Amino acid sequence: MEALLLGIPYVAADDAGHSEIHARWGGGRVLPVPADADAYATVCREVLANPDAVRLSMERRREVHAELSPDRHGVDVMNVYRSMQR
């Protein structure tokens, strides 16, 4: 998440929520869990050679920041509480 918010392309395992992050926001590459070190090295070299191929645009980064902001989180939590009152 930190790399995503900073606009730094990431390489991650398709595990522990990374696949969901990648599917929702993009900004990097994910590899299957059984990928070995050589596979990671290959993808890292590809990303380093052409980071703009996966890097989020500034406009998209602003959208992601807004979606993940503390203010937005507070609104979302309060909406959950309101829905439980009905």
Q: What is the pLDDT of residue 1?
A: 86
Portion of the chain with pLDDT greater than 90, in percent: 85
What are the structure tokens assigned to 73, written together? Answer: 């989180």
Band of pLDDT at residue 5, cut at 50, 70 and 90 = confident
pLDDT tens digits for range 32-71: 999 999 999 999 999 999 999 999 999 999 999 999 899 9
Q: What is the pTM of this model?
A: 0.78
Amino acid at 58: M
Cα torsion angle, 69, 71, 72, 78, sign: positive
What are the structure tokens assigned to 42, written together? Answer: 């290959």
Q: What is the pLDDT of residue 44?
A: 97
pLDDT tens digits for range 6-21: 889 999 999 989 999 9
